[in-house]
Structure 1
């Protein structure tokens, strides 16, 4: 059974959110917008399941072909990304070090992401645009110093990310990767949010990235160095998580930078990130106008 899929969209001058129904979209923002202006407020109220139940059986208001997919959570307070989180990814560094005891983290800005179906943008400053397929968790219940045992109680929904990177710009400074991770529209999140119901949705699912149909990355969440529970526990130790916060949880081995010679994304390429039970995030690649 296909889980509910919540989309943030724009169509002409109209912007809103809705529920996918076949090849169409039931527009929920016209029905609930006064109470829940965006999906962030729906999540904060714990109302995803209620809205899906109430919309069941309604006819679609607009075709999916007529919408532009936007980032599912508009203006999240935080987008926190996990660096090295798969064993083979750790081995790529060839530094002889075992996996670290704590996750590597960095911050991305909402403007660095675009929606499903929209182009990833290669900037004029660098040709080294790379892909990183990842699973996204969205926080539904805030908290600080959240125990691992109850961490998944704080997850509202799941999505996907292509956590695109400008590789040479992550080496511009000595200690951080912020620059190379935040060029406008170099990454994507989407296509939708799937409500989180139980740990089986995440425990051992396949995550795969394809470029022009060729499998480049593939692994399973059961092999993650830091579990979803651990990530939430660790992040909430130093910052208060709030509803709508986005956590991008790490990519498998196989990014373009690891080929010899490296294979960078170029205009016309199509990148797909797929995870079982969540969906497929698809983006073409284009040069910045």
Structure 2
């Protein structure tokens, strides 16, 4: 099942629903009084309930009549893991050994856009880059979560393009915040897939294509820090709450690592794909 936040092209409806075939069942008009957004459903641990109740309902809109929005309207913390696949450390060519702990940084909600919406290249730089990732959505609160229990805290999974303005991540010695947070420089979606068992994540294929060319290609079983490890580690220093989002790292092959680098330009199509989740697709456009 795939849950989506959407708006109709005529602007009259903004809500959430369930993908069915080539259409959307509008759940917000049916249960919106109880759960006004997908965020509320996550907070109430109700994805599985809605799946069982809604699968026989009729479609309200064709996919061609909606715009995909960012799945969570008001996400909690947006945490991102860096350097988490084989060869990613070597890509930096700084002669440093791989770290014992992951690089972590944050994104702000305004830095992300939805499926099929433009990925914006800012006027301040031409060095916009892509990073395809698996994204997990926390559904159960916890602090100092044990690895053995960590997967029980995931409510849903989705995809992310952790778009990065490369020269701006090097404006200061230890700070990447600026280059990771340009307005609509990244994307998330297209939908939320309820998480029910470890096989949905433990060894799935993750790939990123730019204009149909395969650029990133790996499996989650190769991650340096597993999904359970990330949840346990992060929850050591900060509580995790329903609606928190974690981008779990990107494979080798980003544009910055080519010789010379290959930056995204207007008209480029980026597709992030993963088994059992789907495809997140965006086209680059210059901001403004």
Residue number in structure 2 paired with 1:168: 167
Residue number in structure 1 paired with 2:67: 68
Alpha-carbon deviations, 1:55-86, whole Å to 9, x = none? 11211001111111111111112100001101
Moved over 6 A (4+): none
Alpha-carbon deviations, 1:115-136, whole Å to 9, x = none? 0000100010000000000000
* TM-score normalised by L of structure 1: 0.98
Residue number in structure 1 paired with 2:88: 89
Q: Is the 8 A contact 1:7 1:18 kept in 2?
A: yes
Q: Secondary structure at the match of 1:74?
A: coil
- CA drift of 1:260 comes to 0.7
Residue number in structure 1 paired with 2:270: 271
Alpha-carbon deviations, 1:14-36, whole Å to 9, x = none? 21100000010000011111111
- CA drift of 1:10 comes to 1.2
User: Partners in 1 of 2:134 and 2:55 — Cα distance?
Assistant: 27
Q: Secondary structure at the match of 1:233?
A: helix
Alpha-carbon deviations, 1:233-272, whole Å to 9, x = none? 0111111111010000000000000011110000111000
- CA drift of 1:99 comes to 2.2
Q: Is the 8 A contact 1:99 1:225 kept in 2?
A: no
- Unpaired runs of 5+ in structure 2? none
1:10 to 7, 11, 15: 7
Residue number in structure 2 paired with 1:152: 151
- Unpaired runs of 5+ in structure 1? none
User: Partners in 1 of 2:165 and 2:93 — Cα distance?
Assistant: 21
| Structure 1 range deviating more: 204-213 or 98-107 | 98-107
Q: Secondary structure at the match of 2:236?
A: helix
- CA drift of 1:280 comes to 0.3
- CA drift of 1:208 comes to 0.1
* TM-score normalised by L of structure 2: 0.98
Alignment RMSD: 0.8
| Structure 1 range deviating more: 92-101 or 248-257 | 92-101
Residue number in structure 1 paired with 2:192: 193
Residue number in structure 1 paired with 2:226: 227
User: Partners in 2 of 1:166 and 1:201 — Cα distance?
Assistant: 31
Determine if the alignment matches structure 1 residue 209 to structure 2 residue 211. no
- CA drift of 1:94 comes to 2.1
- CA drift of 1:97 comes to 3.0
* Residues matched between the structures, number: 286
Instruction: Map 1:135-150 onto structure 2 (within 5 A).
Output: 135-150=134-149
Alpha-carbon deviations, 1:204-244, whole Å to 9, x = none? 11100000000000011000000000100011111111101
User: Partners in 2 of 1:95 and 1:168 — Cα distance?
Assistant: 17
